[in-house]
Structure 1
Amino acid sequence: MTHVMACIDNSQSSLAVCDYAAWASQQLNAPLTLLHVLDKEKYPASADLSGNIGLGSREHLLEELATLDAQRAKLALEQGQHMLEKARERTVISGAIAPDMKQRHGHLVESLSDLQDDIRLLVIGRVGEDSKHNAHSLGSQIEAVVRTIHRPILITTSQFKKTEKVMLAFDGSPTANKTVQMLAASPLCEGLTIHIVMVGADSQDNQSELENARSALASSGLMVQAEIRPGEVETVLHAYQAEHAIDLLVMGAYGHSRIRQFLVGSTTTTMLRTATIPVLLLR
């Protein structure tokens, strides 16, 4: 579990994925791996067309179709290799040291699952090459990746912006406290300002939980601000982000609290669609 792994494809997000992955690799002092997965449903490794044409078909037609499929798959592999080369050039310019490249043939989620033991941080674009490009589009595989890969996941927007201010969505739960501990122990946010935002009543219990979180992060040398705000979680977080020019949202993934309900089922899609900044999901 040592590498920053970045998922590269032909989407608008890939340039930003490269930039954020290079940044994370430097912050974590971790090697960077660039990954391209060729979808085996679109480009099967080998094709059996014997049942696809019907009675009376000539054998040479089947052979020609199989040859065309093989050519398409070969060209797709070459295009993927070219994308990886360009991605490596970009990450090196952005400060990454000797990034590695991997190309696999299969499904993205399965490939990531196989590589999971080597992943310290996964960086993936919010929108993939097969997704619709609009303000609230979300890649079709994002939720599956989030549910399957039990590693920190940085979901990027389509444009890179230097990260200076981080907002941690906090609710005082065990998962949220674990997220605080992970941030305190990680060099990812060194030199950045952390805003801890708790959505709820300004009660003594909440104040105590928030102060414990603030103290844990501050004791690790991080610059920390903490605030409790009432209201609906999504509305409050987006308003705070705009008000303080936040560059990165950090949330604990899964659980049953008000905040982490956003990461289960349709609310996961809602939160990621409405976020205008990268989202770092921690476990």
Structure 2
Amino acid sequence: MNQVIACIDTFNHTAETVCDYANWASVQMQASLTLLHVLEKNEAPVKANLSGSIGLGAREHLLEELSSLDEQRSKILREQGRLLLEEAKKRVDVTAIPSLETLQRHGDLIENLLDLEASTRLLVMGREGSHAHETSHIGSHLESVIRTVQRPILISVSDFKAPSRFMIAYDASPTAKKVLERVAFSPLLKGIPCFVLMVGAKTETQLEQLSEAKQTLEKAGFLVETDIRAGEVDSVIHQTLKDVEADLLVMGAYGHSRIRQFLVGSTTTKLLRSAQVPLLLLR
């Protein structure tokens, strides 16, 4: 389990940003990088139904022509995928990472990611796919990937910027404590100042929980600031990111508390649409 996988569906600005964040993560963790392009089923040739009253000879002729066109289209799509992976490869600084691989696969994106899950250390995806709306297959699959793939997921947003400060949305739940441990023991964010945010009232219990979180990260060598702020979770998170000038938001992907519910259901889409910084989702 030592590779970063970057999902590429076409080579546009989103793909460039995905490549940049994947390259940065590979350097930070000294992990191999794989640029993945999946030719999905809905992009593959579609067989026509010619079972109607058309004559036998004409039907056979049309089937032959359709088969030939399908084959040509399949070749074109494969070549298009190969070329976009070559363009993506040029974006990567191969001198700073252990190795770089390009991988083209057919089928369902999520099925392919699950097939590669055992060797995946981090998955990097863009918030949008080919276009800046949900019709593109990577963008439209993002929430399903978050729910299904049991690996850390870095979601790129806008232009690449190497994080100079990251923020953890924390609620002292078992999941959130695991997030802290993952951050503490991973080289991905080493050396980057951290801000830990809790949303709610400044009770004695929450102050104690926040102090414990700070100690965990400080023992791992992080420079840590903390705060507890009241209000609606999404608004507080977005405002605090601006206030502390954080370049990355780290959160647990699942759970039942106020913060963790923010990533479940329709609010997932809301967060992904409105976030101005990349998100690192951990389990």
TM-score, with structure 1 as normaliser: 0.93
Q: Is the 8 A contact 1:13 1:125 kept in 2?
A: yes
Give the superposed CA RMSD. 1.8
CA drift at 1:54: 2.8
CA drift at 1:12: 3.5
- 1:6 lines up with 2:6 in the alignment: yes
Report what 1:164 is aligned to. Answer: 164
Q: Is the 8 A contact 2:38 2:108 kept in 1?
A: yes
Mapped partners of 1:232, 1:94: distance in 2: 45
Q: For 1:115, what is the secondary structure of its paired residue?
A: helix
1:131/1:66 CA distance change after superposition, 3 Å: farther
Q: 1:62 is matched by which residue type in structure 2?
A: L
CA drift at 1:17: 0.4
Structure 2 gaps, min length 5: none
Report what 2:16 is aligned to. Answer: 15
- 1:54 lines up with 2:56 in the alignment: no
Mapped partners of 1:145, 1:115: distance in 2: 13
Q: Structure 2 matches for 1:158-237, cutoff 5 A?
A: 158-237=158-237
Structure 1 gaps, min length 5: none
Mapped partners of 1:132, 1:172: distance in 2: 34
Mapped partners of 1:52, 1:94: distance in 2: 54
Q: Is the 8 A contact 1:170 1:196 kept in 2?
A: yes
Q: Structure 2 matches for 1:59-208, cutoff 5 A?
A: 59-92=60-93, 95-129=96-130, 132=133, 139-208=139-208
1:273/1:71 CA distance change after superposition, 3 Å: same
Mapped partners of 1:94, 1:255: distance in 2: 40
1:131/1:107 CA distance change after superposition, 3 Å: farther
Q: Is the 8 A contact 1:164 1:247 kept in 2?
A: yes
Q: Is the 8 A contact 2:166 2:195 kept in 1?
A: yes
Q: 1:61 is matched by which residue type in structure 2?
A: L
Report what 1:39 is aligned to. Answer: 40
CA drift at 1:94: 8.4
TM-score, with structure 2 as normaliser: 0.93
1:276/1:52 CA distance change after superposition, 3 Å: farther
CA drift at 1:98: 3.1
Q: 2:24 is matched by which residue type in structure 1?
A: W
Give % identity: 49
Mapped partners of 1:264, 1:168: distance in 2: 17
Mapped partners of 2:132, 2:109: distance in 1: 14
Measured against aligned partners, the alpha-carbon deviations of 1:232-272 in whole angstroms (never above 9, x if no partner) come to 11001100111122110000011100001011111111111
